[in-house]
Each structure stands twice: as C-alpha cells, then as structure tokens.
Chain A
Amino acid sequence: MTISRRRFLLSTAVIGGGLLIGYAATRPSRHRVANETLAHNGQRFLTTWLRIDPDNRVTVYVPHSEMGQGVHTSLAMMAADELDADWELVTAEQAPATDLFANGDLITGFASEFGLPSFLQPILAASSVKISQLVNLQTTGGSSSVRFTGEHGMRNAGAAAREMLIACAADRWGVPAEQCHTQLSHVHHNASGRSLAYGELAAAAAELEPPENPRLKQPQEFTIMGKAMSRADIPPKVNGSAQYGIDAYSDDMLFAAIRIAPVFGARLVSVDASEALGRRGVQRVIELEDSVAVVADNYWRAKEALKLVKAEFEQTENDHVSSADIWAQFDSDLAAGDGKKDKEVGDTKTAMSEASDIIEASYRVPYLAHAPMEPMNCTVHFHDGRADVWTSTQDNLGIRGRVASVGGLDENDVMMHPVYLGGGFGRRLPFNWNMIDHATLIAKQFEVPVKTIFSREDDMQQDYYRPAVASNFRASFDTNGNVSAWENRFTGPIQTPGAAHIPYAIGNQSIRVVDSETHVPIAAWRSVDHSQQTFFTESFIDEVAHRAGRNPYQFRLELLSEHPRHRRVLEVAAEGAGYGQNLPDGHAMGIAVQESFGSIVAEIAEVSIDENGQPRVHRVTCAIDCGRAVNPDTVEQQVESGILFGLSAALYGEITIENGAVVQANFPDYNSVRMAQTPEIQIHIIESGEALGGLGEPATPPIAAAVANAAYILTGQRIRELPFKNHDLSRSTPVAQR
C-alpha cells in the first residue's frame, strides 16, 4: 500500500444528548454567579457539573486538565459519591472551555488560603481585561483540584442533584421526600417498595433550581470516596490511543519549527531564508518579533530547513550576563538592603546581641526548567473567522482568551479541544504564553491546521524557570543553649506567601525578602517557592540542631510542640523508616518536614555515598497528612511523583546562564532520576480529618533537604547549594550519630 498520510481527523468535542442538570433557563448566568464569588470571599459557589442520561449514565464535567494526577477520576468520585451514583455508570469528561464551565471554586479556595496566587495575578493587573475573564478559570495548579473544586464544587453538585432527583421521585409518587432514599443511581421509597432510576427522573429534575445548601455526607457515609479507584485515563495510556496536544493530526496539517532569540527579550533583526525555502515540503518562512519559524508538511522537514535559516537577533544589555553575575547581584542586593518584611516576631536584634552562640549559613538554588515529557506544542486552525485549538495546557479557558486576543478573534469563536497533558509541573499554566503566542501567529497565516512544536532544546531554553534564590540565615542560642532567634534574608520575588515561614517555636524571628530581578523569565514550578524554601529552612534547622549537639529528629519534635500534625507526620515517618535503628554501614537517614498547599509531609531519606561522591538514595519513607484521602492510590502516586521530581532536581537539576542565554539543552545536561536511581518509596497516609490538603505538589519540597541532611551525617559536608552533582562527597568525615 502506498500512503501519504491518512488517519483519524481532528476530533471535535461535543456534548451529546442528555441533560445537564441545573441548566434551566432561569438560572442566573454563570458570569454573575462567579463574579459574586470573586467579589465576596467565602461566598458559596453553586452550580452543577453533572449530566445524567436516560440510560442512567452519569457524566461528570471536570474543569481541570488531566496531566496524570488522576483528577478526572478523583473529582468524578466526589460528585458521584454525594450523588449516590453507581460508580460503574459514571464517566468523567473534561469540561468544555466555555464561560459556562468557568471554575469559580478555585477563586474561593485560593482566596481563603492566601489571596490570589501569583499565577493568577497578572490577569488582575491587566486593567483592560473584561471582568468576565477574571473568572475564566479552568486552571489546574496550586494542588487545588480535589480540595477546592472537588470539595466545594463537585460534592455540592452531586448532593444538589441527588436532592433534586429525590424531589422529583417524591412528587411523582406523592410521598414526602424524607421517606425516600438513594442508592446506586436509584431513588427508593421503602414503604411502597417503589424505585426509579436516576435516568428516568433526570429530565424532570433538570427543571428544578438546584438547592443552595444541599446536605453533604459525613465521611462515614462515603461509599466511593476513600476507596482506591482505577484511574479512567490509564487504559488509553497503555496502548497509544491517548490523545495529547502534540497528537492533533489531520491530512492537510502543516508543522512549524521555530528558533527564538536565545537571549530572553531580544528581537529578530534580519533573516536569510534562501537556503531553506527550496527544501522539500517547506511552505513558508515566517518572521515574528522574537523568532523565525519554518512551516513545512512534516516537522522534521521544518526543523531541518530551519537549520539553514540565518537569523540575526538584536543585541541586548543582557548579552553578557552569566550565572556568576546573577549570583553576584543576589549577594550584593542581600548585602545592600534589609528588604521587605515577610514575617517579624519578637526582637531578633536583641536576641542576637545577647546570644551565647550564633550560627550563620548561606544557601543557593539554581534556576530549574520544568521539562515535561511532552515538549511544548500548540496546534491552531484558523478558518471561517474562527479558530480551533489543540494544546496541552493547565488552563483551557486561559488559552482560549489568549489565542483570541493574539489571533484577533472573539473568544467565543475560539474552540479549545481538550487533550491529555504530557506533564505540566507549572510549565503549562496560563501566562507562560510563548508557545501559544508563536503558534497562533504562525497558524494565522494559513487556512489549514498548523502544529508548532518546540524541540526539546527550545523547551529547555525558552521556559519560564523556577527562580534561582539565594538565602542567608543566622540563628542564635541563648545562655541556656535554647534557640533564641531565627533570621533569614532571601532574594525574591515571593510567589507563594509563607513558604519561607517555619513552624518551629522560636520566639524571635525576622524573615525578610530582597527582590532582585533578572532578565530570566520565571514562573511557578511544582510546589513553587516551597521547592527552594524547604531546602533552605529544613537544612538550616538541621544545622542548628547539630550545632546544639542535638538529634535532629528530637530537636524538631521539641520545637513543634504547637504543631501536633507536624509532630505526627514526623513520628509516623520515623517509625515507618525505623529511624534510630541500626543501618547498613555507610548509610544514614536525613529528615525534613514541610506544610504546603494544605498538606503536611515528612520525608526520611536513607542515603549512602557512591563511588562518584554522589548521594545514593536507597529508601524514602514519607508520611503525609492530607486531611483525608479521596483516592488513596492516587495519593500514593502523587507522593511517589513529587518525591522523584524533587529528587531529580536535587541531584541533577540546574539551568545556568552564559552570554544571557540558557546553557542546558537536552536531557543529558538536565538529567532525571531513572530506574537505576529510583529509591524504594514507602508512604503512610494520615487521615487526620482536617480540611483536605493538596497532593500534586506537597511531596516535592522536603526531599532535597532530607537527602542533604543524611549526606551531612555521612560526610560532615553541609550541602548548601544544589544540585548535588556539583559536589564531591567522597572525601569527608562522618558526623557522630546522636
């Protein structure tokens, strides 16, 4: 058979027949509801995200992207449990990227936690943005899906729908609603032995106004939540059928390869594309403000032709900036000013002046790339005054608005097609626009779909990076040997308020931030500021413990007297790890504990030093208090994932700058933990019954400090700069175990 290209056409997301409960014409518009939510923190957001079909099938619309965190399954579980649905009849779909499905619960959740998160703030800063865009939210970030959308939105939606179905059944039977109960997608009236399937009631129920405050179940009433359910997105991920953004495909599709100015912010000056234009399959060479792209009928052809394009970019004031310059800037900014208050308690100055001993240390962590396995890509098809978009994004609504704005369309004329994400980790949050903008501007010049792909090198060198941070500490001991003051000066900006705060009972604390901007674009990276700050604070508290001659575990427990949940995770992790018991020769355990995104996590790493002077992590024992586990298997997956993501960064991760541009280009110089470096991971989930905590991020922060604290015991070397690959731990003096 001779074939050019033929295969499936680009698919279109359509909501099929059936009833979307709660969409009665009299409903207030979603815009208004959501605006009210934004304007008044803590106000209840009420809508339904459920469709029930005549055949009794339930579809839950999830306003979050599936990037492997199992959100389509866990949120469906939450709605289905409150609905008393038969789980076998429940499926989840990603909510369409339309105003109707904007997710106001995110605003409610984040606002109650720490005000609007940084990744949402740019939208507020843009005064020209329509108020409706403020709530055009389908963001997946901040470890928010289950604890905010699920807990506020999905459970209420399920419970409201259940009450509506009961009301219809009671009305039909002429009995009081209180005499009816629900089970496995049916309403029952025990006294008369009658029952009706939800599918038979859905049409009538959809005419009702959803109750504002439906009764939610108590945990002991849960039938679905708390059980380890198989993730719905896994079967298509084992046979190649899962569709990621990069898999959008049509017979007439074109492909774009792009070269962006290597120094951030530089503009394109001139292009000589003469050698590229004659190449097979090449359609056009497109010049953009900061880049040049080749569009061809095959990505490889586009990329090969791009190599022949000569492009000149303007010189900028950053052309000679190197990482050394950036560190020097951080150091001098930290030395020059006392910065802004992050947290001040007591009188640190006096405590320091009266100290019997003072310990000082300076820490640094580098820029990091996100490097999701699926390189950044975006397919846009402009046609008939509209655009269809396929891209792996953590916010389809945000991208819809951006494509509309860049492409000169009304956002209602932009159709987002939901796809799986090949990893996100913050890279695919809104405001990390570069790929979206480039792909939109390129595709706008064609009438066929154009798929723009960043090569891995583009992906690594044109990211929005986890910020590099320098952090200087001092701690003092009073004449009784107790810790009397904690002083911390670190470079900002702060993206996550409170990340540098410590839970330890130290009477005098001065934590201040010195903003030190560079030309390197920054963004949220899995666990955001906690990824840097937990390495700093949990390493330095370990230094303080050793200086005091104390066991770091006991020392922490004593200073956590007012934080019983922190103590608990430490105790559970220590017991699970066998902390304090004999270890093989050359092994030691390091500890770290951190609260982030509402969950509290302790990690204990068992480490040895290998023949290359590098830490070998044998085992990680993790205890996590996330309030309650909705899907325990997903909790474990996210903890495994968070630990290994953090471990890759701690061991290998660094983005450095030379001549204004990123040095690292691909996986050999930005390595990841693979099978051979994967430790055994033991996880203890603590169901404290407290408010739900996040899961996507909280396991990432503690691991770097846990490994560094173990390495210190083994070698006497205190690692204050990551990654480990830049250190040689082979010649060293073990510290006596206490």
Chain B
Amino acid sequence: MANFRVNGVEYRLDVEPEMPLLWVLRDELGLTGTKFGCGIAACGACTVHVNGSSTRSCVTPVQAVEGADITTIEGLAEAVNGTAPDAPALTRVQQAWIDYQVPQCGYCQSGMVMAVTDLLNNNPNPSDADIDRSLSNICRCGSTPRVRKAIRSLVSA
C-alpha cells in the first residue's frame, strides 16, 4: 500500500511500489493536470511538488514519496493561498502567467508553473542566470521569452 497526500487529500493506494508518481496521479487518481512529456525527466512537463520541492514525477516511483505531501497544479493555489473562502483562486505565478499571456499550447505550463513557483520560493530575487540554471523545462511552442518576463514582473514587484 502506498500512502501519501495529494493536494491535502490522504490516499492509501494498492499500486506497485515502482509505478511512477506521474501515472499514479493521471491514471489512478484522474489528476490529469500533470502532464506526460518524455518519461525520462528530460522535459519537466510532469513537475509536481513533493514536500514543496520540484520533482519530475515521471521518474519518481511512488515508493519514493511514501508519507509525502504532494502538490499538483490542481492544488497549487490552495497550497499557496490557503483554503479560506476568500483566498485567491490563483497564485501570483499563475496570475502573472495570465497577465503576460505566457502559455501557447499550454501543455508544458503545468510543469513550468510548478518549477517557477519552487524557484521563487527558494530564490525570491533570481538573476537571469539563476533563471537559466533553474528552469530546464522544454516548451516546444517557445513561451520562454514570456516566462522570463513574467518571472521578472514577480521579482521586481
């Protein structure tokens, strides 16, 4: 049995310990906001937070997150803003993504938003070099210029 929390909900699942967290989320829990991109941690589309840290779920066996607190894109706003009735429905990163019209096809953006959120948690004032080093997510549409602009808007704010 695998035991962990996803977006504040406790789960106890009968799945193989080596099943990647990505497929537990998508195929067992129906949490499809986390995306399958490459299966080998090369693209970052599957990024979730495990105990607050960016983790590529496609190569993370579920046994590695035993007892952990997992946040997916669906639960990010609640994790960041809390569950009070008047809590904003979007995080400031998500709002910046709308303000700067960052996503195109959007498929990589769940992972991108999770990675950027973690980056800003650890480094509230990242330089361009920090951004380059920390964000290796692939976006085939080419949203990266706007990702940088949106992050800069959060840094200077």
Task: Indicate, yes or no, whether A interacts with B.
Answer: yes
Could you tell me which A residues sit within 8 Å of B by CB distance? 1-8, 67-70, 230-231, 233-244, 246-247, 249, 255, 280, 297-301, 371-375, 420-425, 453, 455-457, 633, 637, 640-645, 648, 666-668, 672-676, 678, 680-681
B87 contacts partner chain A, Cβ-Cβ < 8 Å:
no
Q: List 25 A-B contacts (CB under 8 A).
A: A1-B9, A2-B11, A3-B11, A5-B29, A7-B30, A68-B106, A68-B141, A234-B102, A234-B106, A238-B90, A249-B32, A299-B27, A301-B19, A373-B35, A373-B107, A421-B105, A422-B106, A456-B38, A637-B146, A643-B142, A644-B141, A667-B42, A667-B138, A668-B40, A673-B142
| Docked-complex contact B138 and A680, CB < 8 angstroms | no
Contact in complex: A238, B144 (CB < 8 Å): no
With a cutoff of 8 Å between Cβ atoms, the chain A residues found around residue B90 in the complex are 238-239
Supply 9 further A-B pairs (C-beta < 8 A) apart from A238-B102, A666-B42, A667-B138: A3-B13, A4-B28, A300-B20, A373-B35, A423-B107, A640-B142, A641-B141, A644-B142, A672-B139
Give the CA-CA distance A275 to B108 in the complex, in Å. 35
State A422–B139 Cα separation when bound (angstroms).
Answer: 10
Residues of A within 8 Å of B16, CB to CB, are: 280, 301
A1: B residues at CB distance < 8 A: 9-12
Contact residues, B77-114 vs A (CB, 8 A):
77, 89-90, 94, 97-98, 101-110, 113
Say whether A240 contacts B110, CB under 8 Å.
yes
A632 CB to closest chain B CB, in angstroms? 11
Selected from B19, B106, B140, B147, the residue in CB contact (under 8 A) with A425 is B140
Docked-complex contact B144 and A673, CB < 8 angstroms? yes
User: Is B17 close to A, CB under 8 A?
Assistant: no
B35 near A675 with CB under 8 A, answer: no
Q: Which residue from chain B places its CB closest to the CB of A236 in the assembled complex?
A: B106
Name A641's contact: one of B29, B108, B135, B142 (CB within 8 Å). Answer: B142
Smallest CB-CB separation from A373: which chain B residue? B107
Partner of A299, one of B23, B72, B77, B133: B23
Q: With A and B bound together, what is the CA distance between A455 and B42 in angstroms? A: 13
How many chain B residues touch A (CB < 8 A): the figure is 65
Are B33 and A239 closer than 8 Å at their CB atoms? yes
Q: How far is the CB of B151 from chain A (nearest CB, A)?
A: 9
Among B72, B73, B106, B131, the one with the most A-chain Cβ atoms within 10 Å of its Cβ is B106
Question: Cβ of B30 and Cβ of A6 under 8 Å apart?
Answer: yes
Residues of A within 8 A of B143 (CB): 640-641
Residue in B11, B32, B137 whose beta carbon sits within 8 Å of that of A247 in the complex: B32
Q: Are A241 and B33 in contact (CB under 8 A)?
A: yes
Is B31 close to A, CB under 8 A? yes
Task: Give the docked Cα–Cα distance between A645 and B139 (Å).
Answer: 9
Choice from B29, B35, B101 contacting A230 with Cβ under 8 Å = B101
Q: Report whether A238 and B94 are in contact in the complex, using a CB–CB cutoff of 8 Å.
A: yes
Q: Is chain B's binding surface mostly helix, strand, loop or mixed?
A: loop
Residues of B within 8 A of A255 (CB): 27
**A-contact bits for B120-143, CB 8 A (1 contact / 0 none):** 000000000001110111111111
Least Cβ–Cβ distance between B157 and chain A, in angstroms: 17
Q: Are A238 and B39 in contact (CB under 8 A)?
A: no
Complex Cα distance, B31 from A644, in Å, reads 31
> Which residues of chain A come closer than 8 Å to B152, judged between CB atoms?
none
Candidates B28, B43, B105; contact of A68 at CB < 8 Å: B105
Residue pair B106, A233 in contact (C-beta under 8 Å): yes
Give the residues in chain A near B52, CB-CB below 8 Å.
none
CA distance A247 to B73 in the complex (A): 14
B33, B94, B145: the one within 8 Å of A640 (CB): B145
**Interchain CA distance A383-B40 in the complex, whole Å:** 36
Which residue of chain A has its CB nearest to the CB of B19?
A300
Tell me if B70 counts as interface (CB < 8 A to partner A).
no
Residues in B neighbouring A421, C-beta threshold 8 A? 105
Instruction: Judge whether A242 and B37 touch: CB under 8 Å.
Output: no
* A667 and B27 contact, CB distance less than 8 A: no
Chain B residue contacts of A423, Cβ below 8 A: 105, 107, 140-141
Question: B76 and A239: CB pair below 8 A?
Answer: yes
Known: A246-B36, A249-B30. A240 touches B73 (CB 8 A): yes
Please, which residues of chain A bring their CB within 8 A of the CB of B29? 3, 5, 7
Q: Is B34 an interface residue (CB 8 A)?
A: yes
Contact of B66 with A by CB under 8 A = no
The interface residues of chain B lying within 8 Å CB-to-CB of A668 are 40, 42
Tell me which residues across on chain B come within 8 A of A456, comparing CB atoms: 37-40
A681 to B143, CA, bound (A): 12
Given contacts A239-B77, A456-B37, A668-B42, contact A680 B104 (CB under 8 A): no
Q: Across the interface, which residues of A come within 8 angstroms of B40, CB to CB?
A: 456, 666-668
A298–B77 Cα distance when bound, in Å, is: 28
In the complex formed, the residue of B with least CB distance to A421 is: B105
Residue of A nearest to B89 (CB): A239
Q: Which one, B30, B107, B135, B137, contacts A374 given CB within 8 A?
A: B107
Report the Cα distance A249→B32, complex, angstroms.
Answer: 8
B146 CB, min distance to chain A CBs, angstroms: 7
The 6 closest A-B pairs by CB, nearest first: A240-B33, A7-B30, A68-B104, A644-B142, A422-B107, A237-B106
Provide the residues of chain B in CB contact with A675, threshold 8 Å.
Answer: 131-132, 135-137, 144, 147-148
Within the assembled complex, what's the spacing in Å between the Cα atoms of A69 and B132? 25
Give the shortest distance, in Å, between A639 (CB) and chain B (any CB). 9
Cα distance A149–B145 in the bound complex, in angstroms: 29
Residue of B nearest to A296 (CB): B27
List residues of chain B with CB within 8 A of the CB of A374: 35, 37, 105, 107
Given contacts A1-B11, A3-B29, A422-B106, contact A373 B23 (CB under 8 A): no
> Out of A3, A280, A373, A420, which one reaches B140, CB within 8 Å?
A373
B residues less than 8 Å from A234 (CB atoms): 97-98, 101-103, 106
In the complex, A644→B73 CA distance in Å? 26
